[in-house]
Chains A and B, each alone.
Chain A
């Protein structure tokens, strides 16, 4: 922390670029200060960035921004060129590409702004060096500093480029789509889509009856699912850990390993196997029929009856989730100081009381961050629902969703099956808001977050 403050202080000590100083030309011509101080490579790099950016903006950029604003005006269609009588298929504007280019230009502009800022700082440094009578460092020593004082720049650049290209850019793009009417009826290149403001949000909140009748029940089930799934996994997983770690129980490592195997197998394998087992004609039903407990007519519809399907996904989720909690709580249990238990036992506390008064509070204290991630993970628990029930049983009262669909699986279906990208994005934003609110309220108050600086 003190280091950070020191760095800021040095920066603010740099002189301002007053207009009577030659370095101030850098405000208009990037890299000028570097050039007059014989930092040729750096100066030329700055200049090149500026020239390239201006050239790009004039030739392509302005047009791209305009495209982002209009999202295209010319529909694809048949037009008859002048002087001819035969209509030809004219390629229309592609709203999708116009949007991508527009966003790319904005991202480029932000990067350019960053470069410009670096340029100004560099000019101020040059000025400071000149005023104190020192020589500007050469390009080689600049490069060397990239391995030392500026090592963070070197290391962060590849990551940031990756995140910008494959996470931020697509995300901005999808957020923008939530404010357009890019649905199955407005698919480029055949059709244009346009900005519609908050219409999509209004639609799922009530303006469109069918969508609202889908959104609220699905949201409700998502929250119920997340609470129950997180709670049951947490408590039962902890109980299992307590059983395994109890004094006098032997083969602890073996018991743990048995449960851990299920974590290690890819979920799509275990869940597809489960789907098969719970199928109407799957082994469980076949077994019950052949054992004479049920008849062919009364097969248990584990995945096709609304209530049963919901219970089944919750139970299967226990199978998936308990081992995780067990693994993590085992570690924590072993770290609870034993004398706490001794003292309580001398006071005559029952095992149940020990659990409620010592184990539970300690565990909750240590695992709050884990609990939050689990909760958010369950809101986004795509695999269990999608692979097990596929969101089914389907219902005609919902739009493109089934009774066990979570918001995220509905989002996936809207994207993959019907191409209502605008609705999918809107729901994505809703999921984000829920996760963000939950974590902000809880996460920032946890010990782990506050302790972040302790080691440094």
Chain B
């Protein structure tokens, strides 16, 4: 139900002024993260991931295809997000609306621009055959902050995926042979984690639930990466109608980099550890 009373929004904003949230979390605190691997045995890699009650399913599939005309020595990446109405009474049926499109593209850029995927190692035969990686994200229950959830889910699915078996003679994937033992060509050091800060009233909040998200003026998603020469930002997307003040811009960058510093180890464990 799309009801978010103004009085609720007022209360959320006021409570945040005291640094408090209805569920007892601090403004920069994340909900409990729960991950289940292998939601589809037919995927090259897949997982379900939850932040509290918010849940997405992420799956990775690969196929051998002809490369794009001007990128004969690079593999392909296609990221799609589906905000199906199964996840919320507020989502509609039909082709992806702007919410899903934006989410898919932001996650895609984070994966692509960070250098996480070694596209050159995805070449089978230059200018003729390359691997295409398909990352598909499905919202299953919307309870706020789907974008960060989807970003982490995509990383985990990719890190656990295995390359399909390629039949050199037939020049296509041999599905019957099953997956190889090889992981995807990923660069651990380039892994980027998407952290979104939301402006609610006068406060900046991380990992909002649905109610809190509905009270936000804007969201700014920053993909953070822990490289050898210090943390780097690999992509940013500001979303929503509000405008960021100069002061807030600095506060946001400080908040996000501090949070990333504190979460790095845990995120690495989720992505590479299991």
A and B: bona fide binding partners: no
